[in-house]
Amino acid sequence: MDRVRIVSFTENGYQLFCRMRKVIGDRAAVTGYSGRSQVAETHPDIYPVTEGLQAWCETVFEQSEVLIFIGACGIAVRTIAPFLDSKYTDPAVLVADEQGGHVISLLSGHLGGANAWTQFLAEGLQADPVITTASDVNGRLAVDVWAVRHGLQITDRTLAKYAAAVFVTGEPLPFYAEPGYVDIAALPEEFNRFEAKEAFWNAAERRKQEQIAGIVVSVHSGWQTNVLRLVPQRVVLGIGCRRDKDPEELAQQVDRVLAQYQIAPESICKIASIDLKTHERAICQLAETWKVPFVTFSAETLLQVPGAYALSDFVKQTTGVGNVCERAAVAALEEQKRKNPKWICRKQAGNGVTVALLET
């Protein structure tokens, strides 16, 4: 559930907060604040901002999905300015006037959802929504929003901006999706879809002097540098290693295997191993770096995984399982997919690390 924090400064502001809270209902967890202690003292359902607005904002900024100021835009801008980082991480920030006449999308309109929240609240309050992002006011596609909606990772933020600029002019971009990742029957008109990879590649090559040549949905790397890659997280990394393995050496071996098979790191959806490795620093550090789950399984569970696997006597003697990386990758799949796993690569060994890649 989204965490929404709303700060107001007057009695009128508090009354608008109450209306907003009613409109939001069960959609999000709402917490109210007042910048004036006398207002907060009168209404026990809101908290006073006693330490100053910027100190308060520093505390709540990263903890909120939506931050709403009821008051002047200038107050909101000056308050949030020191804490801005990226549209990919900043919360949605909205501003509403005390009378509830206007709701303004101020920050993170697309990825943060400020535009959607602005439309939602304005409709519920019977207010005017104020949205200024070019793609929205021109009725054009925002590729970053489309990517997030389809669970795709954006690999190059600059290329995403170039795509948005092209779409605003009304020009489509060459588009190619590897089979099975998106619904090709419902693609936006801004995508000039190519069914064959080679045909897309030729179209992108003709635009090699442009800021952006096209857009692909792919788990693979190896595309030309001005092609925007939208990567589905659909690859499981099965991994085994010697105890207390150096984190840098493990990461280097994983990178070598990914490069060998041209698999984008952004495509990894989870890392899997045996439970003896639950606290293995090198694997935990890799999972933290990639911000993906690290799941482990007991030897008994791994032995029950269907399929034929290459056997290592040393690994079997150490762990009770002759092949950790492949069995763990399969175990991490949904049960119905375990009988016919789609291998990208089977066990790859090097430098005390074994790696297997499996498409979900």
Give the tens place of pLDDT for each residue, 209-233.
Answer: 999 999 999 999 989 999 999 999 9
Confidence category of residue 24, pLDDT binned at 50, 70, 90: very high
Residue 140, pLDDT above cutoff 80: no
What average pLDDT does the structure give for the chain?
Answer: 91
What is the model's pLDDT at position 38? 86
Q: Are 276 and 319 in contact (CB under 8 A)?
A: yes
pLDDT in tens, 166-208: 888 889 999 999 999 998 888 999 999 999 999 999 999 999 9
Mean pLDDT of 26-45: 91
Residue 239, pLDDT above cutoff 90: yes
What CA–CA distance (Å, rounded) separates 81 from 237?
39
Residue 110, pLDDT above cutoff 80: no
What is the model's pLDDT at position 236? 97
Residue 139, pLDDT above cutoff 80: no
Residue 280, pLDDT above cutoff 90: yes
Residue 134, pLDDT above cutoff 80: no
Between the two ends of the chain, the Cα-to-Cα distance in Å is 27
pLDDT in tens, 40-84: 889 999 999 988 999 999 999 989 999 999 999 999 999 999 999
Query: Which phi and psi (to 5°) does residue 30 adopt?
Result: -105, 130
Give Cβ neighbours of residue 167 (< 8 Å, ≥ 6 apart).
135, 140, 141, 143, 173, 190
Give Cβ neighbours of residue 336 (< 8 Å, ≥ 6 apart).
none
What is the model's pLDDT at position 111? 72
What CA–CA distance (Å, rounded) separates 34 from 47?
6
Among candidates 320, 243, 234, which has minimal Cα distance to 283?
A: 243
Out of 65-74, 150-159, 280-289, least confident range: 150-159
Query: Which phi and psi (to 5°) does residue 9 adopt?
Result: -135, -10
Query: Which phi and psi (to 5°) does residue 69 adopt?
Result: -105, 130
What is the model's pLDDT at position 137? 60
- Taking CA atoms, 136 is separated from 68, 88, 105, 190, 301, in Å, by 21, 18, 12, 14, 50
- Taking CA atoms, 215 is separated from 79, 89, 203, 231, 344, in Å, by 37, 23, 11, 11, 23
What CA–CA distance (Å, rounded) separates 9 from 34?
5
Confidence category of residue 312, pLDDT binned at 50, 70, 90: confident
Q: Locate tokens 């690569």: which residue?
A: 345
What CA–CA distance (Å, rounded) separates 185 from 279?
44
Confidence category of residue 126, pLDDT binned at 50, 70, 90: very high
What is the model's pLDDT at position 136? 65
Residue 9, pLDDT above cutoff 90: yes
Structural domains for the chain: 2-132 (3.40.50.11220), 143-232 (3.40.1390), 235-359 (3.30.420.180)
What is the model's pLDDT at position 101? 94
